[in-house]
Chains A and B, each alone.
Chain A
């Protein structure tokens, strides 16, 4: 750390002072440590050797990278300097990069002590009034002590920087280029190795090969093998090339595809049949792997989209199933849930200032941080549910209960409510999207075999399953569920045996709206939260309900997941379909044009699919059988 700070400060250091300048001031400063005896110095050296011996656990002459650099800095011939620096290649010691960097930028100084010995030092720490800084010995990173045993403070301008020729700088660059290959952090190593592999520079091969022998981390070994194979693609030896193709076929990494294609072209140009065959095999292995990754990735995405649709549509399915009311304000219930999450987040954080209708109000914040703040989402979930449920109950009591006999008109009235709520949200929270941060436990991802699994999506899938289970339990295992089902099956009969159907309506509508609120809390983690949030999901959730069939949980689950996956699969594979679609007579050109925008194409195909599906099953997947005629 000290060194990084130092090399950062080096830029501000004065220009290099030529030898001989300011000699007088220099010697005056050194008066203090006038008499360091040779004997003392010898003793110190021996001592140091003893200290380092056990650590090195190698032959006597093996030195730490620091010592090598220190030795190189004072070496007489530039050839020796180059040799010493070059010996650092392949080492990953943290000290190397900053020291070499300092050297190149004239911030590595040679300090001649009183004994006439040249001690390479770097300067670190705050400058005092004289502009002096603490001197750090290059050889061991310890402060340079004066005769009195106190750390020495030196002025950069007084010191002579270590020499470096352009050929030496080239060697340093060679060392620095591969330094991350041996970095302590595995992720850094992998990145460096991949970069080296992609440059396909044959010169770097020995470093990688040497690393492969001592590397233990599995992922790094794979990266090394890939990089070596990639470099070997450029090899002049056909046998090495062949081996590289075989290796890449075995590894089938996605990143090697482009290099394999280039290599295949080269092999074709050269007319080497075995190489062409091997390259083809490797390329096919990569393509197979890519197809697998795409497929599983699409499967995962369709599952997560399906779960979102499911959560969004579940509440709608319940209210529609019970009352035959299509609640156009369902989307706004979602938005209410999302905004509740936003408010809860701000209550856990710095609070929130709102000014609806010109009235300023301030919601105080708890100013928490760390894991307490991150747990806001767990509190936001029940709050969103309750808030949306309350709005839903108010809506039912205020508007919908007058319209049970007029389903089409309840659709219109709830649309009025939706406009109203949307504008209220806009006036309260502003027309722009608000920022809802994801807690850290929802913002990471797993990568398994090149397939990306976002935690928030995994969470959505898990929670969708949980909510479906919860709703199923409520409907089948609680007294409320019993009442709901009885009213759903036969309203008049239920009323005759004493069920208060009005109250059941209210509670059901509250439940449905609450579920929409929960959906809103989730959507706040996945997309933007704005006043028109609900609008973007409302058409889709209607589709899910219509396809699923009225009042049937299983139908909703199947249709939600089904629509989600069809949509995602069409999106993924529509570019591939575009060519085939072009050959359709008359409208082929239009279809191919449409297939270019896979998202739009997916939505439109899903819609057409739904219309055709309803030809086959007009009342949805699952129909509640009854003998009554509407």
Chain B
């Protein structure tokens, strides 16, 4: 996990180029009609997924916590923002009532109490941070207090997500039930369907992603980040060294939840719908696939993975709708088995191979050639048996 100064410089340059492209060039191209609105919108979605992937990576790649609850936080953020967007529809809904259509359908005549403050954008924004953060705090406190870890933690977070989906699927939760929220009209006074609004949303998403990336990058280099990685590699040793591992994990868990939630909040206005199917444990696992394919324990990996897998999905679900799941499943098995470092580890491996070939030519006697995969996997292996 040590990175040489050159590699770091390369990464910084790459990030700067990508960020410049996404934040400035891509929207400009769209404004001039080179990139279609559809493509821009699609990429906006990918970037939101990248935020979700970063949150998974922060937990799984850096702290060794495989949380299957990230889809829950993602969807919660989406719902919080969605509530604001639903209020902004005003009386332009199908029923021409000042309350959301599904409430009219359920026989409500005025707004339920907990909906009222969501007419204000700052409140909704605060809830995007607070609600998932609070859920993560309570759940994490209980889970880490009793030292639930490994697969147990995964199973419990999976169950948490499942329970969340069950609650949101109910009509009586008054959150739109099965259909969720859709048919948004305005955001902060702008028409949400307008190309310029979507472009602005895209830029906001790209900037958020950059900021989150920078935050995580900074965090991973502080002492906090080192403890985080130490917990991943040998939690008991960290405990015995006098660190309260539980507090560190709790902080990371809440931070991950908030990042996922922000991703969800940006996702909703761009995709135009949020419903409980975003909240299922499968969605969490899918996000884990992005991270695994992109490369866990790197910060570029999740972004690369989220964008590439989703681009592949967009293409494959149209080209081979029947085979897409087989492709995804197969890809996942192959990556887990043969490419534990993910896509971003490919350049390093190629370089390694290249160097070895040259070394062989120069002096065949000095190095024996161990197979590449075990070497990489040994590096990735957590200390858990």
List A residues at the B interface (Cβ < 8 Å): 320, 324, 326, 328, 399, 402-403, 405-409, 411-413, 415-424, 427, 539, 542-543, 546, 593-594, 596-597, 600, 603-604, 607, 610-612, 614-616, 618, 629-630
The answer to whether A600 touches B325, judged by C-beta atoms less than 8 angstroms apart, is no
Q: Does B289 contact A (CB under 8 A)?
A: yes
A421's closest neighbor in chain B, by CB? B329
Contacts of A409 in B (CB 8 A): 292, 336, 340
The answer to whether A405 touches B385, judged by C-beta atoms less than 8 angstroms apart, is yes
Q: Does B285 contact A (CB under 8 A)?
A: yes
A269 to B369, CA, bound (A): 99
The answer to whether B158 touches A618, judged by C-beta atoms less than 8 angstroms apart, is no
Contacts of B12 in A (CB 8 A): none
The answer to whether B332 touches A416, judged by C-beta atoms less than 8 angstroms apart, is yes
Known: A412-B288, A413-B336, A546-B155. A607 touches B163 (CB 8 A): yes
Q: Can you name 10 A-B residue pairings with CB atoms under 8 Å?
A: A399-B337, A403-B336, A405-B385, A408-B150, A416-B328, A417-B329, A419-B326, A422-B325, A546-B156, A618-B146
Chain B interface mostly: helix
Q: Does B160 contact A (CB under 8 A)?
A: yes
Known: A399-B333, A607-B159. A408 touches B328 (CB 8 A): no
Q: Tell me the smallest distance from the CB of B201 to a CB of chain A, in Å.
A: 31
The answer to whether A630 touches B163, judged by C-beta atoms less than 8 angstroms apart, is no
A408 to B66, CA, bound (A): 7
Known: A326-B155, A407-B151. A604 touches B167 (CB 8 A): yes
Q: Tell me the smallest distance from the CB of B156 to a CB of chain A, in Å.
A: 7
B292's closest neighbor in chain A, by CB? A412
Q: Does B193 contact A (CB under 8 A)?
A: no
**Digit string of B141-159 for contact with A (CB within 8 Å is 1, else 0)?**
0110111101110111011
A428 to B325, CA, bound (A): 14
The answer to whether A614 touches B337, judged by C-beta atoms less than 8 angstroms apart, is no
The answer to whether A411 touches B151, judged by C-beta atoms less than 8 angstroms apart, is yes
A614 to B143, CA, bound (A): 8
| 5 A-B pairs with least C-beta separation | A416-B332, A419-B329, A420-B329, A423-B325, A416-B329
Q: Does B367 contact A (CB under 8 A)?
A: no
The answer to whether B328 touches A419, judged by C-beta atoms less than 8 angstroms apart, is yes
A570 to B150, CA, bound (A): 30
Q: Does B281 contact A (CB under 8 A)?
A: yes
The answer to whether A600 touches B170, judged by C-beta atoms less than 8 angstroms apart, is yes
Contacts of B361 in A (CB 8 A): none
**Digit string of B170-193 for contact with A (CB within 8 Å is 1, else 0)?**
101100000000000000000000
The total of interchain contacts (Cβ-Cβ below 8 angstroms) comes to: 138
A551 to B131, CA, bound (A): 37
A420, A593, A615: residue with the most chain B Cβ atoms closer than 10 Å: A420
Contacts of B163 in A (CB 8 A): 603-604, 607
B139, B142, B340: residue with the most chain A Cβ atoms closer than 10 Å: B142
Q: Does B381 contact A (CB under 8 A)?
A: yes
Contacts of A422 in B (CB 8 A): 325
Q: Does B348 contact A (CB under 8 A)?
A: no
Contacts of A596 in B (CB 8 A): 172
The answer to whether A415 touches B154, judged by C-beta atoms less than 8 angstroms apart, is no
The answer to whether A402 touches B337, judged by C-beta atoms less than 8 angstroms apart, is yes
Q: Tell me the smallest distance from the CB of B22 to a CB of chain A, in Å.
A: 29
Known: A399-B333, A412-B288, A423-B325. A407 touches B139 (CB 8 A): no
Contacts of B152 in A (CB 8 A): 546, 614
A611 to B326, CA, bound (A): 34
The answer to whether A593 touches B172, judged by C-beta atoms less than 8 angstroms apart, is yes
Contacts of A543 in B (CB 8 A): 155, 159
Contacts of B24 in A (CB 8 A): none
Contacts of A600 in B (CB 8 A): 166-167, 169-170
The answer to whether A630 touches B385, judged by C-beta atoms less than 8 angstroms apart, is yes
Contacts of B154 in A (CB 8 A): 326, 408, 411
B172, B285, B331, B336: residue with the most chain A Cβ atoms closer than 10 Å: B336
Q: Tell me the smallest distance from the CB of B145 to a CB of chain A, in Å.
A: 7
The answer to whether A406 touches B382, judged by C-beta atoms less than 8 angstroms apart, is yes
From residue 23 to 56 of chain B, which have CB atoms closer than 8 A to chain A?
Answer: none
A406, A416, A417, A615: residue with the most chain B Cβ atoms closer than 10 Å: A416
Contacts of A610 in B (CB 8 A): 156, 159
Q: Does B318 contact A (CB under 8 A)?
A: no
The answer to whether B289 touches A324, judged by C-beta atoms less than 8 angstroms apart, is no
Contacts of A419 in B (CB 8 A): 325-326, 328-329, 332
A604 to B385, CA, bound (A): 32
A616 to B288, CA, bound (A): 30
Q: Does B345 contact A (CB under 8 A)?
A: no
Q: Does B322 contact A (CB under 8 A)?
A: yes
Q: Tell me the smallest distance from the CB of B39 to a CB of chain A, in Å.
A: 28
Q: Does B162 contact A (CB under 8 A)?
A: yes
Contacts of B162 in A (CB 8 A): 539, 607
The answer to whether A417 touches B333, judged by C-beta atoms less than 8 angstroms apart, is yes
The answer to whether B328 touches A542, judged by C-beta atoms less than 8 angstroms apart, is no
A537 to B144, CA, bound (A): 26
Contacts of B317 in A (CB 8 A): none
Q: Does B377 contact A (CB under 8 A)?
A: yes
The answer to whether B148 touches A618, judged by C-beta atoms less than 8 angstroms apart, is yes
B156, B173, B325, B382: residue with the most chain A Cβ atoms closer than 10 Å: B325
A417 to B334, CA, bound (A): 11
A616 to B146, CA, bound (A): 8
Contacts of B381 in A (CB 8 A): 405-406
B291's closest neighbor in chain A, by CB? A412
The answer to whether B285 touches A412, judged by C-beta atoms less than 8 angstroms apart, is yes
Q: Tell me the smallest distance from the CB of B241 to a CB of chain A, in Å.
A: 14
**Digit string of B280-298 for contact with A (CB within 8 Å is 1, else 0)?**
0100010011001000000
The answer to whether B159 touches A542, judged by C-beta atoms less than 8 angstroms apart, is yes
Q: Does B122 contact A (CB under 8 A)?
A: no
From residue 51 to 97 of chain B, which have CB atoms closer than 8 A to chain A?
Answer: 60, 64, 66
Q: Does B117 contact A (CB under 8 A)?
A: no
A405 to B337, CA, bound (A): 12
Q: Does B330 contact A (CB under 8 A)?
A: yes
